Amino acid sequence: MKITFEHYFKKTELGLTDFEIKSSENNLGFNIPLQLRNCYLFSNGGGFIKSHLPSICGTDEGDGVWGIFDLDTMVSTFRTAESNLNIFGEVLELSDKLFPFTISHYGKKLFIVHSGEGIGKIYISEEKDEEKNFIPVKLIANSFVEFLDMLE
């Protein structure tokens, strides 16, 4: 079943080619989960029509997401974080399996599982455990499209 993304975005950038995505995947060392990959074929970044995160995400009232960031930015973020640390140097739960794709208005990062069990599931970062210098994550959707559908 082909998924179309037009009704999720208010503004989009040109989509990437399969070759461009494959180049990024080679740089990352893993394949981008299919639904997110297909979204990048449609648009290399853009703002969502519905952008508010529902309370089930554990976010503060009024929190939302900017949209999807371009793939080069996310690859750079992933590489800078050396795949096992948050951008700020804290250890991130499930870090060896998570790839960032956007950030909330209040600074929570959203990730997609890129390998192993649960591939394609969406997680959101929670409040840092200061004592352990550790950031737990919470499952919020079983797929990228389920995440898009839950936005209000």
- Each residue of 69-97: pLDDT tens digit? 899 888 877 765 544 444 444 556 656 78
The stretch 22-26 carries a mean pLDDT of 94
Rounded distance between C-alpha atoms, residue 11 and residue 67, angstroms: 9
Per the domain annotation, does 54 fall within a domain? yes
Select from 43, 59, 150, 149 the least CA-distant residue to 109.
59
Q: The domain containing residue 110 runs over which residues?
A: 9-150
Per the domain annotation, does 1 fall within a domain? no
Question: Which pLDDT value is given to residue 35?
Answer: 94
28-37, 82-91, 97-106: which range is least confident on average?
Answer: 82-91
Q: Which residue has the higher pLDDT, 9 or 18?
A: 18
Residue 110 predicted with pLDDT over 60 = yes
Residue 13 predicted with pLDDT over 90 = no
Per the domain annotation, does 3 fall within a domain? no
Number of domains in the chain: 1
Per the domain annotation, does 50 fall within a domain? yes
